[in-house]
A and B are shown apart, each in its own frame.
Chain A
Amino acid sequence: MLLVHFLRDQLGMTGTHIGCDTSQCGACTVWLDGDAVKSCTIFAVQADGHKVTTIEGLSTGQKLHPMQQAFHDEHALQCGYCTPGFIMSAASLLKRIPHPTDEDLLHGLEGNICRCTGYVNILKAVRRAAEIASNETRDDEAEK
């Protein structure tokens, strides 16, 4: 059984979506031990013993993850179907590359397809989240 079907059909965690059958669209993106993976490309058993984070686990209580907040603020979603996967990919990208160039962003997000937004506001949102994150780090460092 694919991890995405295990999440959706067995655990009832339907925030992770399916948009293709050839691993192109990224709607199914989750984190496996903190790294973004397409959950339609791995079997549930392969995740055994590992930590899986889905969109449902990204915010803490009512407080949104900065990437969720940025998607809202920049109107980076319309139908919202690609959004969980996009947010999981983008948030993971910023963990790996905290100060991404646009090249990094295009390369890091080309595995997620959105048919509604034309990507313009998605790029704005991810840039914004990166900016906020780097401001926060700067503040943290100033405090130290």
Chain B
Amino acid sequence: MTIRLATSETQEAVREAGRASQGPYSGQSVPRVEDSRLIRGQGQYVDDFTTSNVAYAEIVRSPLPHARIRGVDTSAAAALPGVLGVFTGHDIVIELHALLPVIAAGVPNRRQTPPQYPIAIDEAVYEGEPVAVVVADTRYGAADAAELVAVDYEPLPAVHDLDAAIVEGSGVTHADAADNIGWDVALPGEGDVDAAFAGAAVTVTQRIVQQRVCAASIECRSVLADYRDRLTVWNSSQMPHFNRMYVAEGLGLPESKVRFISPDVGGAFGSKMGPYAEDYLIPIASKLVGRPVKWTETRSENLSSTSHGRGQVFDIEAAAAADGTLLAMKIKQLVDIGAYFGRTGANPIVSVQLSGGCYRWPIIEARSIGVLTNKMWTGPYRGAGRPEATHLVERVMDLLAHELHMDPVEIRRRNFITRFPHVNNFGFTYDSGGYHGALDRALDAIDYTGFRQRQADLRARGRFLGIGVGCYVEISGFGPSWQTAADDHEIGLTESAVVRMHPSGAVSVFAGTHSHGQGHATSFAQIAADALGVALADVDVVEGDTSNTPFGHGTYGSRSTPVGGMAVYTACQRIIEKGTAIAAHLLHTSIDDVSFKGGIFTDAATGERRSIKDVTLASYNRGLPDGIEQGMEATAFFDPPNFTWPFGTHICEVEVDTHTGVTKILRYVAVDDCGNIINPMLVEGQIHGGVLQGVAQALLEEVQYSEEDGQRLGGTFLDYLVPTINEMVPTEVYHTVTPTPTNSLGVKGVGEAGTIASSVAVINAICDALEPLGVRHVEMPASPQRLWHLIHDGMPAALR
């Protein structure tokens, strides 16, 4: 067996796009700067840090989804040698000055947001909720002591089924709440929906379920806190500044007295945004025992108590004319919030707001209901809202095509948005696009016409091949402050950088973002080296420490390059501006006569030149012109005017074994347009990883709960199926390049792109394969068992 791995096409796409490069590095697959330490085992993740006298914490968690806590007996645990303290909710709450934040900027008219303490006090509302914190001399000592904490639980009925939870008079997630409704928001469409449906040639109705999944980064979460005259916290996080802001408030400390360090972070995919309960509990524990305290999540804890992704259900009705023209869509969305808002509110509405996909819809009418349940809260997971939206609309396109006996590609072509900027049904402005181009490229790469022939031939021989198309447009580059700071009390999602040129001419870039695999140490260095005309090796990128980087929101939402990268670029421009003034002084000429290119300031009149190194050294010298301070550094906060709107088409070819229900992916073509590309190699890596995560949601992954009592089932890597190398998808990566007009680098972000259309490309392919057997729709994960039942349950006995 030889697996065909496509050769890289991304570098070629950059060349073809023929963009005037900003310098020698941008657009090149520069090898990663950060690898050197990581391949030697010299990376430093939170659990790798230690300090003298460090103690270890273990968290006692509720094993039940819902229970009253009648009492916690800590005496046996506290009596164990080496135990430094055992703290219950009552001990912790005394130290608290503020609760965990409710981050739900996107959700207007919230009905209730249950107050969230970092630890249960009298009622535990999800399985995995902290109930006590044990601190001991050693890791094993803490674990042993935690076993001895005796909690007296009175089990309460758990709310877990979304449909049941919104019925009046159903049980409640929080004992003192009236119902389980977190929000109920109507997003009315413009126009007469009912008339549109009445005049339609075809309509389809479908429920589409986005199951709960785990991000399952291979590094679990970890916190090391050292509470002295100031608080230092090492925290495996995507957003150290943001967490510092909230934890400082929670502990009643000035933000300036708290330092958060997120060192190397071993993956996150949205799940390490926080702040989490432990981000409060461990600093408080350190304060109470008077020693540094470290806590590291186990995988079992990670699967129960790190935010889950997706968890949304859509009831859809859609209508089209006989020629395939889309007429209207109605959506009812149920969002499984979990027991607390956490970060749930940050993304589910996006699923609705982008539900129109790449198409012109005269009307979309939607209603979104957030449902509180006795489960861990859901939060952003790679794509956060866009995979849900794309899955929804791309299933609908296939269902409509099926009703119309039309090729699924044809119905897409007939409805693509072709003019930009385009304001979508919910008021977002797609800045640029070229949807036909991406689709054509993908069809060509996978030989769509040839496939249909092969498919027909093989069907005749009893083999079931299918092809699935997923076209997407996504929202990236979070985000313009005018759209992201919902009111006067919230902060806009701008991003920051400090660029410092040292007297030697070497460059430090301090960024508010935080790489956790994306490779900023390389890509940001490429941006800075090109902008300043210095050697890449002279640039060092620093992220993740609130004591030396400017306030930033961190890395998520495919924002680092289009927002953070632009902050770096803007700071570099400010350096050049100052450098120009100093160069003019050195060259005895006026500023207007000095130009800058490739690291050289040139006097247009005389042709005399000064390098940026010389100018930088001079900037630290005496005799600068009036009004110019010493030094060469600049700070920039970049506030983008709009989001960016990457798009693309993914096509997947599968074969389903109807005897076993097993799906095999035969080919996978990804065409992504992320605008200009800084580092093709990094972009391809993001696509590879993203595609497999989407495919894994389609085929393997699901957090399961007992239908009977809402108890979570399983909870280790034995039963939660993250893909191994056996499930690898040999993705063929292609691009179209449409630079965004939203920023001067023309970059859009690519961190999530791979996940967005991949789950639906797989499911559409499976539906296509099984169409002759009467299968119209398949829910995720399309496990062998699920497919076998779909195939066999409805089949006449003679055919089984």
A112 near B: Cβ within 8 Å?
A: yes
* Most chain A beta-carbon contacts within 10 A, residue among B296, B519, B725, B726: B725
Residues of chain B with a CB closer than 8 A to A42's CB: none
Report how far A117 CA is from B35 CA in the complex, Å: 14
* Pairwise interchain contact A116-B689, C-beta atoms closer than 8 A: yes
Minimum distance in angstroms from B668 CB to a CB of chain A = 10
* Pairwise interchain contact B218-A22, C-beta atoms closer than 8 A: no
* Pairwise interchain contact A79-B139, C-beta atoms closer than 8 A: no
Minimum distance in angstroms from A29 CB to a CB of chain B = 11
Within 8 A of A (CB), among B692-747: 692-693, 716-718, 722-726, 728-731
With A21-B299, A115-B722 given, is the CB distance from A68 to B39 under 8 Å?
Answer: yes
* Pairwise interchain contact A123-B725, C-beta atoms closer than 8 A: yes
Within 8 A of A (CB), among B653-709: 681-682, 684-685, 688-693
* Pairwise interchain contact B40-A55, C-beta atoms closer than 8 A: yes
* Pairwise interchain contact B269-A115, C-beta atoms closer than 8 A: yes
A77 near B: Cβ within 8 Å?
A: yes
Report how far A18 CA is from B691 CA in the complex, Å: 25
Minimum distance in angstroms from A38 CB to a CB of chain B = 12
A89-116 to B contact mask, C-beta < 8 Å, 1/0: 0000000000001110110011111111
* Pairwise interchain contact B218-A110, C-beta atoms closer than 8 A: no
Report how far A15 CA is from B724 CA in the complex, Å: 22
Residue of A nearest to B34 (CB): A80
Q: How many B residues touch the partner, as a band?
A: 35 or more
* Pairwise interchain contact A118-B689, C-beta atoms closer than 8 A: yes
B518 near A: Cβ within 8 Å?
A: yes
* Pairwise interchain contact A71-B39, C-beta atoms closer than 8 A: yes
Residues of chain A with a CB closer than 8 A to B39's CB: 55, 64, 68, 71-72, 77, 80, 83-84, 87
Residues of chain B with a CB closer than 8 A to A77's CB: 35, 38-39
Stretch of B44-52, B202-210, B277-285, B341-349 that contacts chain A:
B44-52
* Pairwise interchain contact B218-A114, C-beta atoms closer than 8 A: yes
* Pairwise interchain contact A122-B725, C-beta atoms closer than 8 A: yes
B482 near A: Cβ within 8 Å?
A: no
B251 near A: Cβ within 8 Å?
A: no
* Pairwise interchain contact A75-B682, C-beta atoms closer than 8 A: yes
* Most chain B beta-carbon contacts within 10 A, residue among A16, A17, A75, A110: A75
Minimum distance in angstroms from A131 CB to a CB of chain B = 13
With A78-B518, A80-B38, A118-B731 given, is the CB distance from A113 to B266 under 8 Å?
Answer: no
* Pairwise interchain contact B40-A59, C-beta atoms closer than 8 A: yes
* Pairwise interchain contact B1-A15, C-beta atoms closer than 8 A: no
Report how far A83 CA is from B43 CA in the complex, Å: 10
Contact of A123 among B5, B216, B219 (CB under 8 A): B5
Report how far A55 CA is from B689 CA in the complex, Å: 24
Minimum distance in angstroms from A35 CB to a CB of chain B = 19
With A59-B40, A75-B681 given, is the CB distance from A21 to B725 under 8 Å?
Answer: no
B620 near A: Cβ within 8 Å?
A: no
* Pairwise interchain contact B3-A102, C-beta atoms closer than 8 A: yes
With A72-B39, A79-B517, A115-B216 given, is the CB distance from A20 to B299 under 8 Å?
Answer: yes
* Pairwise interchain contact B300-A12, C-beta atoms closer than 8 A: no
Minimum distance in angstroms from A9 CB to a CB of chain B = 7
B241 near A: Cβ within 8 Å?
A: no
B32 near A: Cβ within 8 Å?
A: yes
Report how far A83 CA is from B34 CA in the complex, Å: 13
Number of A-B contacts (CB under 8 A): 185
Contact of A22 among B716, B728, B754 (CB under 8 A): B716
B291-306 to A contact mask, C-beta < 8 Å, 1/0: 0000010111000000
Minimum distance in angstroms from A15 CB to a CB of chain B = 2
Q: How many A residues touch the partner, as a band?
A: 35 or more
Report how far A87 CA is from B42 CA in the complex, Å: 14
Report how far A13 CA is from B562 CA in the complex, Å: 38
* Pairwise interchain contact A110-B726, C-beta atoms closer than 8 A: yes
Residues of chain A with a CB closer than 8 A to B518's CB: 78
Minimum distance in angstroms from A27 CB to a CB of chain B = 6
A25 near B: Cβ within 8 Å?
A: yes
Residues of chain A with a CB closer than 8 A to B718's CB: 22, 24
A54 near B: Cβ within 8 Å?
A: yes
Residue of B nearest to A64 (CB): B39
Report how far A14 CA is from B43 CA in the complex, Å: 8
Report how far A22 CA is from B218 CA in the complex, Å: 13
Minimum distance in angstroms from B615 CB to a CB of chain A = 35
Minimum distance in angstroms from B679 CB to a CB of chain A = 10
* Pairwise interchain contact B717-A118, C-beta atoms closer than 8 A: no
Contact of A79 among B31, B219, B690, B691 (CB under 8 A): B219
Within 8 A of B (CB), among A50-79: 54-56, 58-59, 64, 68, 71-73, 75, 77-79
Minimum distance in angstroms from A68 CB to a CB of chain B = 4
Minimum distance in angstroms from A1 CB to a CB of chain B = 7
Minimum distance in angstroms from B261 CB to a CB of chain A = 16
B607 near A: Cβ within 8 Å?
A: no
Report how far A114 CA is from B219 CA in the complex, Å: 10
Report how far A71 CA is from B34 CA in the complex, Å: 12
Residue of B nearest to A22 (CB): B716
Within 8 A of A (CB), among B254-287: 264-267, 269
Minimum distance in angstroms from B258 CB to a CB of chain A = 25
Residues of chain B with a CB closer than 8 A to A82's CB: 218, 266
* Pairwise interchain contact A117-B689, C-beta atoms closer than 8 A: yes
Residue of A nearest to B38 (CB): A80
With A117-B689, A124-B5 given, is the CB distance from A15 to B722 under 8 Å?
Answer: no
Residues of chain B with a CB closer than 8 A to A27's CB: 218
Report how far A139 CA is from B323 CA in the complex, Å: 66
Contact of A14 among B48, B269, B300 (CB under 8 A): B48
Report how far A11 CA is from B42 CA in the complex, Å: 14
Report how far A112 CA is from B725 CA in the complex, Å: 8
Minimum distance in angstroms from B799 CB to a CB of chain A = 34
B420 near A: Cβ within 8 Å?
A: no
Report how far A21 CA is from B264 CA in the complex, Å: 21
* Pairwise interchain contact B725-A109, C-beta atoms closer than 8 A: yes
Report how far A14 CA is from B47 CA in the complex, Å: 8
B1-21 to A contact mask, C-beta < 8 Å, 1/0: 111010000000000000000
Q: Identify the B interface with A (CB < 8 A).
A: 1-3, 5, 31-32, 34-36, 38-45, 47-48, 50, 139-140, 215-220, 264-267, 269, 296, 298-300, 516-519, 681-682, 684-685, 688-693, 716-718, 722-726, 728-731, 754
Smallest CB-CB A-B distances: 10 pairs:
A15-B41, A81-B266, A80-B38, A55-B41, A79-B517, A78-B517, A118-B688, A14-B48, A118-B692, A24-B717
Give 8 new A-B contacts, CB below 8 A, not counting A12-B50, A78-B518, A106-B725: A8-B48, A15-B43, A56-B41, A72-B32, A77-B39, A78-B517, A117-B688, A122-B725
Instruction: Give 14 CB contacts A-B under 8 Å.
Output: A14-B47, A18-B47, A20-B299, A20-B717, A24-B717, A24-B718, A54-B41, A56-B40, A58-B40, A68-B40, A75-B682, A84-B41, A118-B729, A123-B3
